[in-house]
Amino acid sequence: MSELRDEFLAEAQEIVESLSRDLLLLDQAQKDNLPSQELINEVFRAVHTLKGIAGMFGYGRLGEVAHALEDLLDDLRLGRKVLETELLDVLFEGVEVFQRLLAESPDVEVSEVDVVGFLEELSSVGASRPPVEDELSAYAIDTSVLAVLTEYEEHRLRTNVAKGVALYRLKVRFSLTTIDTQLEDLKARAKSIAEIITYLPSSSGGDGDAIDLDVLLASSATPATLEDVLGGEGATLERLSRGTSPAAPVRSTEHHALVPPAPLPTPRPTSAPPAPRVPSEPPVARREVTADQLSLRSVAHTVRVDIRKLDHLMNVVGELAIVRSAVMRLTEKLRGRPELRQLAIDLHRINRGFERHLEELQDGILDVRMVPLGQTFDRLARIVRQVAREHDKEVQLVVTGAETEIDKLIVEELSDPLMHLIRNAIDHGIELPKIRESAGKPGTGTLVLNAYQKGNHVVIEIEDDGAGINPQVLVETAIRRGLVTEDIAADMSRDEALQLIFLPGFSTRTKASDLSGRGVGMDVVKTNIGRLGGVIDVQSEVGAGTKLTITLPVTLAIISALLVRVGGREYALPITAVQEAIVFDPRRVRRVEGREVVTLRGETLTILRLDELFRTQSDARGGRRYLVVVAVGQKRMGLVVDGLEGQQDIVIKALGKSLSRVRGFSGATDLGDQRVALVLDAPGLLDEVHSSTERTLGEGRR
């Protein structure tokens, strides 16, 4: 049962994420005054499905909330409620309630007050739609047809009539063996130009191998367009007119006369009218599923795998990589013995084949771990809407690169930092509409969320067109709070001043807001991103806006590393951060503003001597040392090491709580032959040399 419950949780989470996306589209459609009936139906389907599966797994409160939301959405789709901002707010709140309930145990009543309050809010939300004058009787539609329409079908029919949309009857003949495929094809073709109200068997019946259907549809397209899209051999299209006999049939584009349509059928027994499966109607009766059906549907095309199992497989791949390296070393030893040279050649050939298959396995597992950032961006879109409304601001969110993929474990740890940055952008950055308009800006602020892959890194940009950050204000605040001295502040560049926002305890606000700045500062955001092997950079112009750029590795599961030697010990440096390695010439070193730098191809590069940082004695062989140029994001520096020991794929292991705060290291790895190496934290080392403030403050911490 636990496996089925895991299946349910995964399925339910997908439904809630889909529901959230549809609500965002519905919100935008409402703002743009665009038809949104299909979106309402999609939302209704999602909530109905969630209600159906919740009860089977003991999530009674979840099912209760879903049932209440379903009733509200049913009123909305049947025209009893009006789609308003207040109603949308409640629907978005419902998504939050779903997520909280899914995170709790089904055996414990949780969030009782919140759930009860939400259910009470549902009962009173939404204005009722005023009654619409019945114009349906003016159409030549057989009353026997109206008698078998579902409530939803009749509502859609009356709505289209009230809007003046033309009604048509399309008579088609389908083969009994392929009727499902043909019907779905008809729906797909009709979707862009017409709304199918219902379809019923024609009184003509058809022959032994076929069935005739009368399709009632509404469309604003011309009859000729409808015929082009929906017509075919043997099809008859008739426009229904007001208060007269049926209008003349429309002629086919194939230039053959369409036979006069048969009368619409007599009523079927009301005890068994099948609910038509049309694009605009949620097929409620067909969505009921059992626990076994849920599991079968889940594995029909995809298989959900616990991320811990993938972690285990990746660890196995890491162990195999160690074995591969051991075989390579053994091969080199055998080559040194002439009598075993042929054995060394055979072993090398076998190892190359093993290496190819290992790379395929590694790439396959990594590919399974990848998820699109769009899932996280969808959640952020809800936050943008909520925070903007709470702060009386108008904000337009522009998302690009949602298809960019990154390791699932990184995504899970990235949600909170991104949420804080989004809240900050709206709270601190984007101005109130009146202030923006007085500054010559549009009243609606723009928040851009962009992602793209750059080599082995993923770059995420959060950019707003708000007030920007004044570096001088940052410097004055830092001095006033005792975070920097006046001497240090006087030597700061503009970029260094902007980095002050990442200092612990820094804020230009005298009072914390409810939206941001309460308990979690930008220093925590930077620290959390650093733990993921990433860096964050800030650019800002006063009055123009702020851009925050996060650079992250695509994955932390298994990486290629450059092995370097410092003070007789081996260290692993992620190869994704390495640009080049050259022989270090100490004669080219000079000091600038207290830092050691070298000039490399016209660029001034700050260097960091790792033996001094680790307080060890250099053991450079023959006095030759190396300069490893590393870069993450826009930052570059040179690391001085004693030797280069080659390249190897590694699996990074956590250091544990006692060592997790040690600066300069992101983990440890097993190199084989009972050799363990610490993994250098390239982003952390870059921060060490690029922030003079943090370097000064860090002297006491090292």
Give catalytic residue positions: 48, 70, 424
CA dihedral over 525, 526, 531, 537, signed as positive or negative? positive
Q: How far apart are CA 19 and CA 13, in angstroms?
A: 10
Burial, 472: exposed, middle or buried (Cβ in 10 Å; 0-12, 13-18, 19+)? exposed
Q: How far apart are CA 378 and CA 20, in angstroms?
A: 7
Helix (H, G, I), strand (E, B) or coil at 196: strand
Cβ 635 vs Cβ 686: under 8 Å = yes
Length of the chain: 702
143, 263 contact by CB (below 8 A)? no
Please give the angle made by the CA atoms of 261, 262 and 267, to the nearest 5 degrees: 135
3-state SS, 290-310, equals: CHHHHHHHHCCCCCCCCHHHH
Residue among 262, 278, 136 at smallest CA distance from 201 = 262
Token readout for 495 is 């970029």
Q: Which among 64, 19, 54 has a CA at the least distance from the CA of 40?
A: 19
C-beta of residue 119 within 8 angstroms of C-beta of residue 67: no
Short-list 30, 44, 33, CA closest to 78: 44
Query: Distance (Å, rounded) from C-alpha 92 to C-alpha 675?
Result: 53
113: burial class by Cβ within 10 Å (0-12, 13-18, 19+)? Answer: exposed
Give the position of tokens 């800002």.
Answer: 540
- Residue pair 50/12 in contact by the 8 Å Cβ criterion: yes
Among all chains, which residue has been given the structure tokens 């497989």? 313
User: What is the identity of the amino acid at 512?
Assistant: A
DSSP assigned state of 391: T
Q: Tell me the CA distances in angstroms from 257 to 211, 212, 250, 261, 387, one per residue in order.
A: 21, 18, 9, 12, 60
CB atoms inside a 10 Å sphere around CB 493: 11
